[in-house]
Amino acid sequence: LMSTQPEFMNDYAWLLATCRNESILNADKAIELAEKACELSDKPDPSFLDTLAAAYARKGEYNKAFDTASKALELVSSGSLVGEIDARRELYNQQKPFTEEEVK
C-alpha cells in the first residue's frame, strides 16, 4: 500500500526525520521515502518538499534542506504552512534539524 500512496510515504518520512524519540529517527530512510513521495505526486507538493527538507536537515545536509524548504515556500501562497516552513528554513540556515514538539 505504501509504495503507491505518496501521502503515507510523506507522513512516515516526516516521523523518521522529526520525531523526538531518537530510536525512531532514520535520516536515510526519511530521504528515500520523501523523494519517492515527491516523485509520485502529480504536481510539486509543498508539504512533501517540506518533509524532504526536514529529512535532509536530519542527515546534516543543511544547504539541501534550506534550498528544498525555499522551493516549498515558493509553492505556498498563504496560510499557516508559510510560517511553519519559513521557521524550519531558518533552523536549517543555523545548521539545526527540526524536531517535533512532544504532543501533550
Cα gap 89→84, rounded to integer Å: 9
φ, ψ for residue 3, nearest 5 deg: -65, -15
Buried b vs exposed e over 31-64: b needs ≥16 C-beta within 10 Å? bebbbbbbebbeeebbbbbbbbbbbbbbbebbeb
Hey, where are the domains in the chain? 2-93
| pLDDT over threshold 60, residue 104 | no
pLDDT band at residue 38, thresholds of 50, 70 and 90? very high
Q: What is the mean pLDDT of residues 31-52?
A: 95
Contact 24, 16 (CB under 8 A): yes
Q: pLDDT, tens digit, for every residue of 3-18?
A: 679 999 999 999 999 9
pLDDT band at residue 103, thresholds of 50, 70 and 90? low
Q: Which fold has domain 2-93?
A: 1.25.40
